[in-house]
Amino acid sequence: MKTRLFLIAFVFILFLCSCKREKPLDKIIDESLAFSAKQYALMADVMMDKPDLLPRTIDASGVLVTSNSGWWTSGFFPGSLWNLYDYSKNEKLKEAAIEMTSRIEKEKNNKGTHDLGFMLYCSFGNGFRLTGDQSYKDVMLTGARSLSTRFRPNIGCIQSWGSRKGWQCPVIIDNMMNLEFLMWAFNQTGDSSFYRIAVTHSDTTIKNHFRNDFSTWHVVSYDTITGKVEAKQTAQGAADGSAWSRGQVWGLYGYTVMYRETGLQRYLDQAVHIADFLISHPNMPEDKIPYWDFNAPGIPDTNRDASAGAIMASALIELSGYAGGGKKAQYLGVAEKQLRSLSSPAYLAKEGENGNFILMHSVGSLPAKSEVDVPLTYADYYFIEALLRYKKLLN
């Protein structure tokens, strides 16, 4: 009998030893952040020789594609450099962040885009947070006033793109991401117009952008005279009625931020509804990195969007701190899975490869055949942010 028990115990021990132990998340986070710092230091070296330009992606041949400061993603690379400097205290990264941030300053006067939050708050905002440089604050306040000029009072939204056939005043769900910039300006100045614009835009978007299942249309266009909805469509999703993945997570992130900034329960409720839609969706892959559209044709043999996974992870980490009951653990569990997936060889590049970007396999606009299965600066930005947020929790 003793011999039999011994053999059973011995076999069980061998089984445990043969099982691959999961690496601790804190180690994964530190390794991914250290890699990101090295990779973006290489990118900074390349960009120093390209005056006035910012990295955007790579083409099909792996050649770096850049943009000028007016492209909507221009603020993500300097913002990532600031965050990686915050992590590493590497002065080289700080110097690069200062240089790349300076390349965007002129956009403070740009009244032709809704993306000034992405462009200025991610770059100058992180710089101001870490240095307290008052000139950065001045740039952002000018930019926030420029953004405010795009608010259409009779509609209750900030106009996104210019008018075109069928769209008099198009508003995209992405615009929720630029409201944090206005709330920052309100907190800095006490000017309630910033607050009113952000809250009104958020409320109008809840009313008109979301379906009964809490998925969102990409584009809602309004009649400029009556203020009524004239169209609900998509520009980057698989179909007008589909759930374009990055659009869903823009909404999740945006309402999480708006709850943080206002304390209004309706924004927390909206964020929770969106999170639950995403987490429980039957087409959410096992590794929790979404397909480019939750209703894309060809699932599971279609592209993933690492940028959607990174944005979602960052939002869920923050939302877990506000959600009650068992949702805190649920949201953190999903975010942990996403960070593990993004930090794996399936999505994380090798040093010196991938055009010196950090993540592989993002999708800009598949219908337009633009930036499909490539690295993107905003995927990297929100991945770094998510890593830092989870690291703060672990500490």
Could you give the residue numbers annotated as active site? 115, 174
Please check whether residue 117 is in contact with residue 181, taking contact to mean a CB–CB distance below 8 angstroms: yes
SS (H, E, C) the chain: CHHHHHHHHHHHHHHHHHCCCCCCHHHHHHHHHHHHHHHHHHHHHHHHCCCCCEEEEECCCCCEEEECCCCCCCCHHHHHHHHHHHHHCCHHHHHHHHHHHHCCHHHHHCCCCCCHHHHHHHHHHHHHHHHCCHHHHHHHHHHHHHHHCCEECCCCEECCCCCECCECEEEEHHHHHHHHHHHHHHHHHCCHHHHHHHHHHHHHHHHHHECCCCCECCEEEECCCCCCEEEEECCCCCCCCCCEHHHHHHHHHHHHHHHHHHCCHHHHHHHHHHHHHHHCCCCCCCCCCCECECCCCCCCCCCECHHHHHHHHHHHHHHHCCCCCCHHHHHHHHHHHHHHHHCCCCCECCCCCHHHCCECCEEEECCCCEEEEECCHHHHHHHHHHHHHHHHHHC
Residues 47, 128: Cα–Cα separation, whole Å: 22
Length of the chain: 395
What's the angle, vertex CA 194, arms to CA 72 and CA 388, rounded to 5?
55
